[in-house]
Amino acid sequence: MSKKILAFGASNSKESINKQLAAYAANQVEGAEVMLLDLNDFEMPIYGIDKEKALGIPELAQEFKELVKGADGIVISFAEHNGAYTTAFKNIFDWISRLGKDVWEGKPMFLLATSPGARGGKTVLDIAYNRFSFANKNVIETFSLPSFNESFSEEEGIINKDLSDQFEQHLKRFVSAL
């Protein structure tokens, strides 16, 4: 039976390089059924306790959480806005966190980040790992791809040999946990 991988770029940019990287990574899992999400399909009111009390938890948050529950593994590639998560991702994260203590349902995760710059979103990747590993005791692999435009090709994937080798090591550990 094939494994179900839920993948998305943690950005609402229609041309997100992080969505491209998430799709690439998820599709490297041999024989996997990949569900690639667009965060624009899960746009909700900005989370606040007053909104939750008045309106309840949005149906879109519940749908997102069901997708998490139905997956065998999760691949997220983070865009970095001012050194942290994008608002689009953080809002979804805040809403789904209201649907249970274990936000990611104990699923193996492959956390990625990329940017046009040399740090490759490393700061937001560290934030995500530190936050998610607190609650999720399953395998959480991380990989940062610096200089996306020079390091990645839609046709070939990661074109820098050293970075490709590092990526493959992390991918193998993620796959072994599925």
What confidence score (pLDDT) does residue 49 get?
A: 96
Instruction: Give the DSSP letter of residue 81.
Output: B
Read off the pLDDT of each residue in 11-24 and give the average, rounded to a whole number. 96
Q: What is the pLDDT of residue 171?
A: 98
Q: Provide the pLDDT for residue 137.
A: 87
CA–CA dist 134, 173 (Å, integer): 19
pLDDT at 116 over 80: yes
Residues 173 and 139 sit within 8 Å (Cβ to Cβ):
yes
Model pTM above 0.85:
yes
Mean pLDDT for the stretch of residues 69-96: 96
pLDDT at 37: 98
The model's pLDDT over 151-167, given as tens digits with 9 standing for 90+, comes to 999 999 999 999 999 99
At residue 1, does pLDDT exceed 80?
no
Stretch 99-126: mean pLDDT, rounded? 94
Name 165's Cβ contacts closer than 8 Å, sequence gap at least 6. none
The confidence score (pLDDT) of residue 136 equals: 86
pLDDT at 22: 98
Q: What percent of the chain has pLDDT over 90?
A: 93
Percent share of the chain, pLDDT over 70: 100
CA-CA distances (angstroms) from residue 101 to 5, 80, 135, 146?
A: 21, 25, 8, 33
- How would residue 47 be classed by pLDDT, with cut points 50, 70 and 90? very high
Rounded Cα gap, residues 160 and 171, in angstroms: 16
Q: Region 48-69: what's the mean pLDDT?
A: 97
Nearest one of 119, 172, 111 to 145, comparing CA atoms: 119
